[in-house]
Amino acid sequence: MELFVDSLKDIYWAEKHLTKALPKMQEKATTDELAQAFAGHLQETEGHVTRLEEIFDMLGEKAVTKKCEAMAGIIAEAEDIISDTKKDTMTRDVGLILAGQKAEHYEIATYGGLITLAKTLGLPEVAEVMVQTLEEEKAADQKLTDIAESNINVAASGEENS
Ligand SMILES: [Fe+2]
Ligand SMILES: [Fe+2]
Q: DSSP state, 26? A: H
How confident is residue 70, by pLDDT bands cut at 50, 70 and 90? very high
In whole numbers, what is the pLDDT of the chain averaged over residues? 96
Tell me how far apart the 2 most distant CA atoms of the chain are, in Å.
Answer: 55
Given a cut of 90, whether residue 9 has pLDDT beyond it is yes
In angstroms, what is the span from residue 160 Cα to ligand 2's centroid?
A: 31
What are the tens digits of pLDDT across the range 89-109?
999 999 999 999 999 999 999
> Which H/E stretch holds residue 123?
none
Non-local CB neighbours of 35 within 8 Å, separated by 6+ positions: 26, 27, 29
| CA 94/CA 48 separation, integer angstroms | 25
In angstroms, what is the span from residue 86 Cα to ligand 1's centroid?
A: 28
Instruction: Give the pLDDT of residue 11.
Output: 98
- Short-list 49, 9, 12, CA closest to 136: 49
Q: Which ligand is nearest to the CA of 12?
A: 1
Instruction: Give the pLDDT of residue 161.
Output: 62
For residue 1, give Cα distances in angstroms to 120, 123, 131: 10, 10, 19
- Short-list 91, 81, 103, CA closest to 20: 103
| CA 50/CA 48 separation, integer angstroms | 5
Q: Which residues surround ligand 2, an ion (CB under 5 A)?
A: 104, 107, 137
In angstroms, what is the span from residue 92 Cα to ligand 2's centroid?
A: 20
How confident is residue 13, by pLDDT bands cut at 50, 70 and 90? very high
Given a cut of 70, whether residue 162 has pLDDT beyond it is no
What are the tens digits of pLDDT across the range 23-50?
999 999 999 999 999 999 999 999 999 9
In angstroms, what is the span from residue 157 Cα to ligand 1's centroid?
A: 30
